[in-house]
Amino acid sequence: MTIIFDGKKLRDKILNELRLKIANFDYSKRPRLDVILVGDDPASKIYVNNKRKFADKIGIRSYVHTFNNSVSEDAIIKKIKEFNEDKSVTAILVQLPLPEHINKYKVINAISPQKDVDGLTDYNKMKLYSGGTPFVYPCTPKGVIKILDENNIKIEGKHAVVIGRSDLVGRPLAQMLLNRNATVTVCHSKTESLSNITKTADILISAVGKKLIGENMIKSGCVVIDVGIFKDENDQTTGDVDFGKVKSNADFITPVPGGVGPMTIASLMSNTLELYNKSSRL
């Protein structure tokens, strides 16, 4: 029988464990997450509000710093540098995407690696890609690995196929799987004969943002993790996988919504506490 993963259940379990740990700290000494939000992208506003809601729930102090679309790159970097210096700030997150006139790499790399809650600075990436230990792992890939581990899905020696090679999801996830001794294939928009590759996956992870994975593209009994999330033509939230058709042929599958998404929030909160614990040891 196919196991359908319940992301909200695991998220709530993780958040409850974090809440109990944080309850031991004085309020003024609790971990603090500062989020920078630029512009008025409706999806970004929803994501940021959601992050704040969950931070509040578990006792992480969270602040959202909003800038209008025309803000200069220098102004954002100046703000980040203030947060880097401020000992009360544990974690800094820049909500992506940024407006086109702002260089995302410069902004992200202005964040001190010790406060880089998304693990996206060059320092943390270099640690990950060289097989070392970053201060924290990027949130969504970390959530995916947690799903596999919590469900006792073996990674070592398995063929993991990751579709998508973005800095945010595909690349770091492929590297984390490789660091866990999976045999990893990374596919992207220029990959030829995609279904010939996906059919060989023991663990298939799609992080694209388009309806891509049909029933004839998977090996019977494989694990299917759907990272994609977008609105379909009927304005319904959906993922890359044709869930209704694929699920009966997989041993384990994550739905959208309610699969990987809640795990990203759980990772963000656990990363904030991890940075807090590491900073108090510095």
For residues 18 and 270, the answer to whether their CB atoms sit within 8 Å is: yes
For residues 240 and 212, the answer to whether their CB atoms sit within 8 Å is: yes
What is d(CA 196, CA 110) in angstroms, rounded to the nearest whole number?
42
Say how many residues touch ligand NAP, by CB under 6 A.
26
Distance in Å, CB of 59 to ligand NAP, minimum: 22
- Which of 18, 94, 128, 169 binds ligand NAP (CB under 6 A)? It is 169
Residue recorded with tokens 């997989």: 250
Identify whether 79 is a catalytic site residue: no
Strands (DSSP E) along the chain, which ranges? 3-4, 32-38, 61-67, 91-94, 159-163, 183-187, 203-206, 223-226, 230-231, 237-238, 252-253
- Which of 200, 230, 251, 279 binds ligand NAP (CB under 6 A)? It is 230
Please give the residues from 252 up to 271 whose contact with ligand NAP meets the rule CB under 6 A. Answer: 260-261, 264
What is d(CA 248, CA 118) in angstroms, rounded to the nearest whole number?
34
Identify whether 211 is a catalytic site residue: no
Q: Which residue's CB is nearer to ligand NAP, number 39 or number 258?
A: 258
- Using the rule CB under 6 A, is 140 a contact of ligand NAP? yes
Q: Which residue's CB is nearer to ligand NAP, number 21 or number 129?
A: 129
Contact track, ligand NAP, 183-212, x by CB under 6 A = ----xxxxx--x------------xxxx-x
Residues 6 or more apart in contact with residue 100 via CB below 8 angstroms: none
Distance in Å, CB of 162 to ligand NAP, minimum: 9
Contact positions toward ligand NAP, by CB under 6 A? 140, 163-166, 168-170, 187-191, 194, 207-210, 212, 227-230, 260-261, 264
Active site members:
51, 95, 118
